[in-house]
């Protein structure tokens, strides 16, 4: 479908999502002496919700950074359908249909509408000069993008807040703006890094329902990092578990929840066993664009299946 003439309503931007499988193979990332990802394999089946879980520091966000081009892997490959994503910059990966949200909210100042229009930018045809000069066609294109942004805002239940500055929104609504902005890129694969972290129970349930609707109505594939096993049990088809950068389990939520190695990882067994690369870890290495301020996430002492916040 032509992005500029997307039909009203929560219409998928593309109906060929079924053809596109995300396949990551042997993805390895080192931060100086730290092996953050150690040969990780992961496949997201088209149209499925796949959860990526693991204790704090397991490498989940680093894996997202590899998939979205923020952090090129030291080795390994990532393909989305026929397209090779490995080594491409984030804007190219977004243009190929992979959009993400960040663990920590990254919104610009301005209204909900302005933030969502930033998501449309990746689809904008008019170049910088044409936009600056206000050439014919630019205004029409902008109007079409704005209408689509409005539809997406309505879809995630932010329509009534479309013209509200994001600074005035609740935490839960700001997380929804992030989701809506990613949807504005018309992705076929959505990467959500802890979409309900820090939310109260009602906000979590609302977000879980929205994620389920995204899959059902838009037919997208979703890869979601989440600590809340209640939510995962409810929405995920498949779960991959990382620990110390290694994939230790993969399967249905129910199977993974009972896996002894997964339970051991969450209980903290073997916490001294992090595999190191050749050199010792420096005190403050920095290679990744995303910072990690404290987030209200569970720690290793809480095995999956005992998370608070969601009813089963
Ligand atoms: N830029 C960086 N420089 C050095 N080490 C990093 C960098 N980013 C992440 N790390 C380290 O890599 C490991 C994996 O971090 P990552 O943020 O991917 O974990 P995570 O599974 O997302 O954890 P959390 O659940 O706390 O969000 C951690 O030990 C972390 O400290
Ligand atoms: Mg993380």
Q: If you measure from the C-alpha of residue 69 to the centroid of ligand 1, how many angstroms do you get, rounded to a whole number?
A: 16
> What pLDDT is recorded for position 120?
84
In this structure, are residues 60 and 242 in contact, taking their beta carbons and an 8 Å threshold?
Answer: yes
**Residue nearest atom 16 of ligand 1, based on CA coordinates:** 59
Q: If you measure from the C-alpha of residue 228 to the centroid of ligand 2, how many angstroms do you get, rounded to a whole number?
A: 13
In this structure, are residues 178 and 101 in contact, taking their beta carbons and an 8 Å threshold?
Answer: yes
> What pLDDT is recorded for position 127?
60
| Cβ of 104 below 6 Å from ligand 1 | no
Pocket test for ligand 1, best of 28, 29, 53, 57 (most atoms within 8 A of CB): 57
In this structure, are residues 224 and 233 in contact, taking their beta carbons and an 8 Å threshold?
Answer: no
| Cβ of 291 below 6 Å from ligand 1 | no
The DSSP output letter for 50 is E
Q: For residues 177 and 109, give the distance between their C-alpha atoms in angstroms, rounded to a whole number.
A: 12
> What pLDDT is recorded for position 280?
30
**Residue nearest atom 6 of ligand 1, based on CA coordinates:** 31
| Cβ of 31 below 6 Å from ligand 1 | yes
| Cβ of 65 below 6 Å from ligand 1 | no
pLDDT tens for the chain, residues 1 to 312: 334 334 334 444 444 444 799 999 999 999 998 999 999 999 999 999 999 999 999 999 999 999 999 999 999 999 999 999 998 999 999 999 999 998 887 777 899 999 999 888 777 765 656 566 666 677 788 888 899 999 999 999 999 999 999 999 999 999 999 999 999 999 999 999 999 999 999 999 999 999 999 888 988 999 999 988 888 988 999 999 999 999 999 999 999 999 999 999 987 744 444 444 433 322 322 323 333 333 334 444 344 554 433 333
| Cβ of 298 below 6 Å from ligand 1 | no
Q: If you measure from the C-alpha of residue 129 to the centroid of ligand 1, how many angstroms do you get, rounded to a whole number?
A: 40
**Residue nearest atom 18 of ligand 1, based on CA coordinates:** 59
Q: For residues 223 and 264, give the distance between their C-alpha atoms in angstroms, rounded to a whole number.
A: 24
Q: For residues 304 and 253, give the distance between their C-alpha atoms in angstroms, rounded to a whole number.
A: 10
Q: For residues 237 and 210, give the distance between their C-alpha atoms in angstroms, rounded to a whole number.
A: 16
Q: For the chain, what is the total number of helices (H) and then of strands (E)? A: 10, 10
> What pLDDT is recorded for position 176?
94
Q: For residues 78 and 172, give the distance between their C-alpha atoms in angstroms, rounded to a whole number.
A: 32
The Cβ-side half-sphere exposure at 30, using a 13 Å CA radius, reads 12
| Cβ of 68 below 6 Å from ligand 1 | no
Which class for 7: exposed (0-12), middle (13-18), buried (19 or more C-beta within 10 A)?
Answer: exposed
Q: Which two tokens stand for residue 27?
A: 């993805």
């Amino acid at each position: 479908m032509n992005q500029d003439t997307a039909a009203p309503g929560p219409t998928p931007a593309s109906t060929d999502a079924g053809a596109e499988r995300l396949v990551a193979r042997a993805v390895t990332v080192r931060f100086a002496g730290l092996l953050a990802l150690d040969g990780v394999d992961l496949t997201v089946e088209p149209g499925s919700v796949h959860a990526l879980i693991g204790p704090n520091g397991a490498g989940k966000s680093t894996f997202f950074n590899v998939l979205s081009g923020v952090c090129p892997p030291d080795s390994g490959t990532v393909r989305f359908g026929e397209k090779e994503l490995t080594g491409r910059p984030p804007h190219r990966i977004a243009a190929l249909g992979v959009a993400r949200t960040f663990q920590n909210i990254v919104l610009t100042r301005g209204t909900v509408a302005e933030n969502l229009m930033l998501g449309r930018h990746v689809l904008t045809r008019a170049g910088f000069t044409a936009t600056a000069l206000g050439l014919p066609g630019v205004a029409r294109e902008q109007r079409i993008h704005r209408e689509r942004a409005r539809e997406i805002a309505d879809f995630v239940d932010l329509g009534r807040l479309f013209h509200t500055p994001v600074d005035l929104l609740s935490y839960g609504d700001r997380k929804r703006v992030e989701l809506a902005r990613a949807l504005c890129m018309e992705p076929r694969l959505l990467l959500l890094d802890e979409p309900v972290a820090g939310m109260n129970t009602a906000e979590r349930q609302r977000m879980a329902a929205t994620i389920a609707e995204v899959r059902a109505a838009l037919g997208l594939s979703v890869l979601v990092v989440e600590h809340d096993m209640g939510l995962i049990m409810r929405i995920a088809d498949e779960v991959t578990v990382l620990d110390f950068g290694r994939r230790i389990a993969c399967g249905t939520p129910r199977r993974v929840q009972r896996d002894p190695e997964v339970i051991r990882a969450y209980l903290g067994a073997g916490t001294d066993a992090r595999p190191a690369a050749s050199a010792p870890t420096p005190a403050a290495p920095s290679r990744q664009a995303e910072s990690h301020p404290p987030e209200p996430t569970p720690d290793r002492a809480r095995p999956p299946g005992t998370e608070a916040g969601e009813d089963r």
